[in-house]
């Protein structure tokens, strides 16, 4: 939904797009920018996808990408083959792990995607972020 390259996704734009999911987005943003995560994030318009994406970083390392949809957002983590077993062992939603297991490789990376819709827990994203930071 963030397809206007001239309209930076500020909180007003994000609240209108995310609707009930905006609270979950704010919670995630507040937690991830403090210890122990200490992530920064950058919104950038990507011409190839014709939309704005948010990249969450730990120092210079990309931890995950966030995309905004109509009423929800997705957090996409990307892992190499050596991380597959660790992802299976993470204490996160079984459905997400199953989707990861069946996901197609994008080059040498495999996506682990969380869809956040409404006011729901972001705990699984936080657990995955800690793993990604440490790996």
The predicted-structure confidence for 55-105, as pLDDT tens digits, reads as follows 999 999 999 999 999 999 999 999 999 999 999 999 999 999 999 999 999
The predicted-structure confidence for 98-109, as pLDDT tens digits, reads as follows 999 999 999 999
* Distance between CA atoms of residues 53 and 56, nearest Å: 10
Question: Looking at residue 116, what is its pLDDT?
Answer: 97
Question: Looking at residue 96, what is its pLDDT?
Answer: 96
Q: What is the DSSP string of 43-54?
A: EEEETTTTEEEE
Summarize the confidence of residues 51-56 as an average pLDDT: 98
Q: Which pTM was predicted?
A: 0.94
């Amino acid at each position: 939904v963030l397809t206007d390259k001239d309209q930076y996704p500020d909180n007003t734009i994000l609240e209108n797009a995310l609707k009930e999911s905006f609270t979950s987005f704010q919670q995630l943003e507040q937690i991830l920018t403090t210890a122990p995560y200490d992530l920064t994030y950058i919104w950038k318009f990507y011409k190839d996808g014709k939309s704005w994406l948010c990249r969450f970083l730990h120092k210079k390392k990309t931890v995950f990408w966030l995309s905004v949809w109509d009423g929800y957002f997705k957090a996409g983590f990307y892992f190499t083959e050596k991380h597959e077993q660790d992802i299976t062992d993470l204490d996160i939603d079984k459905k997400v792990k199953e989707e990861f297991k069946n996901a197609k490789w994008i080059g040498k990376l495999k996506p682990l995607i969380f869809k956040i819709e409404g006011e729901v827990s972001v705990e699984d994203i936080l657990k995955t972020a800690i793993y990604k930071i440490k790996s």
